[in-house]
């Protein structure tokens, strides 16, 4: 029996097999929950993840602007994207602030819970479903399976553009 095994192994060693190394493009994702729904941002669009801190309310601002925080010695807005994502507002205890930077805007984004930051193969990102609400179709760019769960992948530039549109700010400024 061992002679047969040696023969098989020597056969495979003698063959000139070409090994193909596939280097699949990867991207970083920041996974989070908002009102028990699961979402993700591209990691390249999130500059920092901060534990909850006091947010100062600013009078006269749209309801989607939660307020401002002191971020590295400067004033940074903190927005609530629940309305943009068709999710009910939550009064969750400790929430996380994601500092996001798009092409035209930077702001803190309030999320209920940070789940993970991970690298995924770009091929794992599937196109967004056609049956999403009209609101969601404007900002969801894909669906990402992670284990047995699925996360709606958001493009931060689209989220910021939609925020500016719905809050009365001119997005062309």
pLDDT values of the chain reduced to their tens digit, one per residue, 173 residues: 567 667 666 655 555 555 555 678 999 999 999 988 999 999 999 999 998 888 999 998 888 899 999 998 899 999 999 888 878 777 656 789 999 999 989 999 999 999 999 999 999 999 988 888 888 888 999 999 999 999 999 999 999 999 998 887 654 44
Q: What is the DSSP letter of 55?
A: -
Provide the CATH number for the domain around residue 133.
Answer: 2.40.50.180
Residue 11 lies in a domain: no
Contact 19, 73 (CB under 8 A): no
pTM recorded for the entire structure:
0.80
Structural domain includes residue 82: yes
The count of domains in the chain is: 1
SS (H, E, C) 26-61: EEEEEEEEECCEEEEEEHHHEEEEECCCCCECCCCC
Segments forming the whole domain that contains residue 149: 25-167
Examine residue 137 and state whether it is found in any structural domain, yes or no. yes
Whether residue 41 lies inside any domain: the answer is yes
């Amino acid at each position: 029996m061992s002679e047969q095994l040696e023969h098989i192994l020597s056969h495979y060693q003698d063959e000139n097999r070409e090994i193909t190394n596939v280097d699949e493009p990867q991207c970083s994702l920041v996974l989070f929950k908002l009102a028990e729904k699961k979402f993700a941002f591209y990691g390249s669009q999130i500059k920092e993840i901060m534990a909850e801190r006091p947010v100062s309310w600013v009078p006269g601002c749209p309801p989607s602007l939660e307020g401002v925080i002191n971020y590295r010695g400067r004033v940074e807005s903190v927005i609530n994207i629940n309305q943009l994502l068709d999710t009910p507002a939550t009064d969750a205890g400790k929430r996380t602030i994601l500092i996001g930077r798009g092409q035209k805007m930077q702001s803190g984004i309030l999320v209920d819970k940070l789940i993970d930051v991970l690298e995924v193969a770009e091929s794992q990102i599937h196109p967004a479903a056609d049956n999403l609400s009209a609101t969601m179709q404007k900002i969801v760019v894909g669906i990402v399976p992670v284990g047995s769960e699925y996360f709606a992948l958001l493009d931060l530039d689209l989220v910021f553009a939609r925020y500016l549109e719905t809050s009365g700010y001119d997005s062309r400024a």
